[in-house]
Amino acid sequence: MSEAVEALVIGAGPAGLMAAEALAGQGARVVLAEAMPTPARKFLMAGKSGLNLTRDEPRAAFFAHYGGAAPGLRPAPGDLENGEMGPAEVMAWARGLGVELFVGSTGRVFPVGMKASPLLRAWLARLAGLGVGLRTRWRWSGFDGDDWRFEAPGGIERLRPQVVVLALGGASWPGLGSDAAWVPWLRDRGVAVVPFRPANMGFRVAWSAEMARHFGQAVKGVALQVAGRVGRGEWVISAAGVEGGGIYEVAAAMRDGAEAFVDLAPDVAPEELARRFARVPARLSVGNRLRRVLGDPVRAALLLEWGRPLPAEPARLAARAKALRLRHEGPMAIERAISSAGGIAADSLSAALELKALPGVFAAGEMLDWEAPTGGYLLTGCLATGRRAGRGAAAYLAAARR
């Protein structure tokens, strides 16, 4: 026997929580089902090093960071494009939860306390006040006729909702709940799903033995040039390869085949760098000469690792240091990626993010075929699509009541 519910949201990450808020704010009675023991686990994990909510920058510049396989999902599905929930709206929403914010030197927006947990507690309290019923350890396991079947603590449960918002995530960090198990169930119902690929991921590097001493060290003060884009963020050398924010800024283009070049001295002109190399005493070892000029043993190690054979002539050596090819063996596995690209195709969705093949079913967040870098863009996109899907679901309910 199934339980009749008015509005069902599946997935209690940022997109699902925002969809539940949008629905409940319009008076809907919402059941929020979450497979994990607690909501928003990936959100909390991402916020451990400081919750980057959004980016305080001009809207055109902000929108330019969003991509997707389908033009209809740029810069993110609907919400960002028409201004319903861009950076200013995300900041106003967070402040409305009583969370004080500050803007860093790069425009990144953080809670004053840096952590995700206070914001999440305030958000869950708001949802509870709106009557949202949170059911944890409820894992969606497909359809049973017209019912939605769940594996729950008490056994198999079946719900029959009037409207549904799916916010099940993509295929990254499966241990936190985003395992893409939903893909075959929706494909069987006629929904087109683009295969998932890693996004915001590191790249595998087969390091020489000499690089082991640098594992875990940050690469600072360099620029990454990929497909016309330049990233200045820090990244890390790990035993597996290279990863971190600076890599994630350009990871999509690298994944898709664009070569990456490292400028080890982005604030020094080639001619000046050549003069500095020429002034270093020839009696010094190669490593000491590089460290003397580049001022950092990590940067010197990268030039030795990826720049051999090193040219002796200072101008050519400077040119090599200004455009050092990043030699990698492809992206790290999607299970290790921060997010994923791919998902429900644009032509399977209406403007309100309703699935054309399943009237009354909406989708949001990383389930959709779009991607964005970290640094506030990814989270803003999830919040924006969650609000759009929730509003679409509320409008569907309202039309059904008339």
CB-CB contact of 220 with 359 (8 Å): no
Work out the average pLDDT over 39-48.
Answer: 87
CB-CB contact of 65 with 339 (8 Å): no
Of the candidates 169, 175, 200, the residue with the CA atom closest to the CA atom of residue 14: 169
pLDDT value for 196: 96
309 preceded by cis ω (within 30°)? yes
Does 84 have pLDDT greater than 80?
no
Does 47 have pLDDT greater than 70?
yes
Q: Please give the span between the terminal C-alpha atoms of the chain, in angstroms, as a whole number.
A: 28
Locate all alpha helices (DSSP H) within 189-331, ordered by sequence: 245-248, 251-255, 270-279, 286-294, 297-306, 314-322
Do 116 and 167 lie in one domain? The reply is yes
pLDDT value for 67: 67
Do 50 and 67 lie in one domain? The reply is yes
Does 363 have pLDDT greater than 90?
yes
Do 47 and 176 lie in one domain? The reply is yes
Segment 179-222, tens digit of pLDDT: 999 999 999 999 999 999 999 999 999 999 999 999 999 999 99
Do 314 and 227 lie in one domain? The reply is yes
Distance CA 12, CA 176 (A): 11
Segment 250-270, tens digit of pLDDT: 999 999 999 999 999 999 999
Q: Tell me, what CATH number does 64's domain have? A: 3.50.50.60
pLDDT value for 255: 96
184 assigned to some structural domain: yes
pLDDT value for 68: 57
Locate all alpha helices (DSSP H) within 207-312, ordered by sequence: 245-248, 251-255, 270-279, 286-294, 297-306
Specify the pTM.
0.91
pLDDT value for 76: 44
At 364, give phi and psi (nearest 5°): -150, 170
Binned at pLDDT 50, 70 and 90, residue 402 comes out as confident
283 assigned to some structural domain: yes
Segment 145-170, tens digit of pLDDT: 999 999 999 999 999 999 999 999 99
Do 240 and 174 lie in one domain? The reply is no
> Given 296, 325, 354, which residue is the final one in a domain?
325
Do 112 and 223 lie in one domain? The reply is no
Segment 59-81, tens digit of pLDDT: 878 877 886 543 333 444 444 44
Segment 279-302, tens digit of pLDDT: 998 888 888 889 999 999 999 999
332 assigned to some structural domain: no
- Phi/psi class of residue 130: alpha, beta or left (left: φ > 0; alpha: ψ in -120 to 50)? alpha
Do 300 and 358 lie in one domain? The reply is no
Work out the average pLDDT over 386-391.
Answer: 93
Q: What tokens were used for 306?
A: 């990826």
Percent of the chain past pLDDT 70, that is, above it, reads 96
Do 64 and 169 lie in one domain? The reply is yes
288 assigned to some structural domain: yes
> Given 270, 291, 325, which residue is the final one in a domain?
325
Do 15 and 52 lie in one domain? The reply is yes
CB-CB contact of 243 with 332 (8 Å): yes
AA identity, residue 387: R
Distance CA 254, CA 251 (A): 5
Cβ-proximal residues to 71 (8 Å cutoff; 6+ apart), any chain: 346
Do 231 and 376 lie in one domain? The reply is no
Segment 120-140, tens digit of pLDDT: 999 999 999 999 999 999 999
pLDDT value for 70: 39
Do 170 and 239 lie in one domain? The reply is no
Do 33 and 173 lie in one domain? The reply is yes
Does 22 have pLDDT greater than 90?
yes
Binned at pLDDT 50, 70 and 90, residue 82 comes out as low
Work out the average pLDDT over 44-56.
Answer: 87
Which structural domain range is residue 174 located in? 3-199+337-401
353 assigned to some structural domain: yes
Supply the mean pLDDT for the chain: 92
pLDDT value for 45: 86
Q: What is the count of structural domains for the chain?
A: 2
